[in-house]
Amino acid sequence: MSSEGPLVPQTTPTLSLDDIQLLALVGKDIDYAFKTVVAEFAVCGAYFILASMALHTIIKKPLRTARSRLLGSLLIATFLLTTLSCSLDIVYMQARIKPVITVDDPSVSFSEEVQGYGKSSRLRPIFIMTSTMETGGDVGLVFILNDILACWRAMSVWALTSRPFVGALLCFLIFATIGLWIPAVVLDSQIYGASATSNADIFTILAIAGSATSIAANALATGMIVFVA
C-alpha cells in the first residue's frame, strides 16, 4: 500500500498589501459593531426589566382608567420598538459582514468585495428603519417616546404653583426634539450612512441639538420626580 501525503493546493490565494489594509479596516468596523450591540443589549436588558415591572404594576391595579390604559399602551410600544431596534442592529451587522466572508462570485476580487462592504442596496430599508428609531445620540423615536413617558410621570406628581410653566417647558423640549429629529431622519436616509463625517455638517448639528433637548427634557422630568419624592 502506498501512503499518500497531504494534498497540496494547486494555487495559493494571496492578498496584496492594499487587501490586507482593507481587511483590517473591515475587522475594526466589525469589532466596533459587535461591541456596540453587546453594550446595547446590556442597557436594554435593564430597560426591559423596568418596563415589565411598570407594566405589571399597571395591570395589577384594581381600577383601570383611560389614562392607565394609554400609559400601558405607550410602555408596550416602547418595549416593542426597543426590541425591534436591537434586532435590526444585529441584522444590519450580519448583512454587512456576509458579503465579505461569503463569496458568491469567485471571479470577484477581494478588494471589490470589500469596496461594496456595507453599501448594498438591500441594506437601505434596514438602515432607514434603524435611523428612524435611533437616529443619533439620544434622539430617535424610542427616545422621544421615553421622554414623553418621563414627562408624563413628572407632571402627574408635580402639584406646585409652577406647574403651568414647567409643563410648557417640557412640551417645548419634546416638540423641539421632534422638530430636530424629523429633518435628521430625512437627511440621514438621503445620504445613506454618510452623515457623521464632520461635527460641522447639518446632520451632526441636528443630531447633537436633538440629543441636547431630549436629555434636557428627561433630566428635568427626573429632577421633578426626585424633588417631589
pLDDT score at 228 = 83
Instruction: Please check whether residues 103 and 162 belong to one and the same domain.
Output: no
Verify that 116 and 216 share a domain, yes or no. Answer: no
- Does one domain contain both 85 and 97? yes
What pTM does this model have? Answer: 0.67
Show the domain range for 48: 16-130
What does each of the 229 residues of the chain score in pLDDT, given as a tens digit? 555 555 555 555 566 777 777 777 777 877 877 887 787 777 777 777 777 777 777 777 776 777 777 877 888 888 888 788 778 778 777 777 776 666 666 666 666 666 665 555 566 777 777 777 776 656 788 888 888 888 988 898 888 888 999 999 999 999 999 999 888 888 877 765 544 555 667 878 888 888 899 889 989 998 998 888 7
Is 50 among the domain residues? yes
Same domain? For 39 and 109 the reply is yes
What's the pLDDT at 4? 55
Q: What is the pLDDT of residue 167?
A: 92
For position 54, what pLDDT does the model report? Answer: 72
- Mind giving me the DSSP string for the chain? ---------SS-----HHHHHHHHHHHHHHHHHHHHHHHHHHHHHHHHHHHHHHHHHHHT-SS--HHHHHHHHHHHHHHHHHHHHHHHHHHHHHHHHHHHH--S-TTS-HHHHHHTTT--GGGHHHHHHHHHHS-BTTBSHHHHHHHHHHHHHHHHH--STTHHHHHHHHHHHHHHHHHHHHHHHHHHHHHTT--TT-TTSHHHHHHHHHHHHHHHHHHHHHHHHHHH-
- Residue 141 is predicted with a pLDDT of 83
